[in-house]
Amino acid sequence: DAGVTQSPTHLIKTRGQQVTLRCSPISGHKSVSWYQQVLGQGPQFIFQYYEKEERGRGNFPDRFSARQFPNYSSELNVNALLLGDSALYLCASSLVGTANTGELFFGEGSRLTVL
Amino acid sequence: QQPVQSPQAVILREGEDAVINCSSSKALYSVHWYRQKHGEAPVFLMILLKGGEQKGHEKISASFNEKKQQSSLYLTASQLSYSGTYFCGSLQGGSEKLVFGKGTKLTVNP
């Protein structure tokens, strides 16, 4: 079975631009979470969606937004990019929500570089 | 509140044991452990729940002390494949927000 797939794998943008990252969860998984991982740090929670509804939001500015589609795939959008947005963006899917029982399956990530 | 992990890094020889600790200043509802190898995605190891229930599929054991708000991951008879960065995560107030610590880098040498 296919795992969590993310696209693009690498991308380079300039300050002020906008970026859209895409994620396809494991078949049958209804929950998708987004994390930002800066080099040398743990993943930081951005959003979590379950059954197309936002269930959690991390401490990120409004420039960050996301949505989940009827087929449970998801997009993360970041507007007005800053140099500090350079990071690995990880998508994770789970069968149920994360609370207490949800094992997360992570994709390989999208590495964003902002120049 | 980000969980605090210790040590930050540890170097072992194959066959040696290691303990990685995770603590929080806030109440822990559950503790989630993941391992990330260099250049790869994090991989699930274990979830520890209040009341002692554990869910995992690796030959790794862990403990969860609810009163002390601490968890420890025990790596016994370490193998080269154990190398990587270990992250513990805690849920914020029973929400869906999983907050990870900064990680513990484990290196196992032959």
**B100 CB-near residues (< 8 Å, 6+ apart):** A42, A43, A44, A45, B2, B3, B34, B87, B88, B89
Tokens standing for residue B104: 């513990």
A98 interfaces chain B, CB cutoff of 8 Å: yes
**Which tens digit of pLDDT belongs to each residue from B5-39?**
999 999 999 999 999 999 988 877 788 999 999 98
How many A/B residue pairs have CB atoms within 8 Å? Answer: 68
**Which tens digit of pLDDT belongs to each residue from A79-100?**
999 999 999 999 999 887 655 5
B38 interfaces chain A, CB cutoff of 8 Å: no
Mean pLDDT for the stretch of residues A64-71:
96
Q: How confident is the model at residue B94 (pLDDT cuts 50, 70, 90)?
A: low
B101 interfaces chain A, CB cutoff of 8 Å: yes
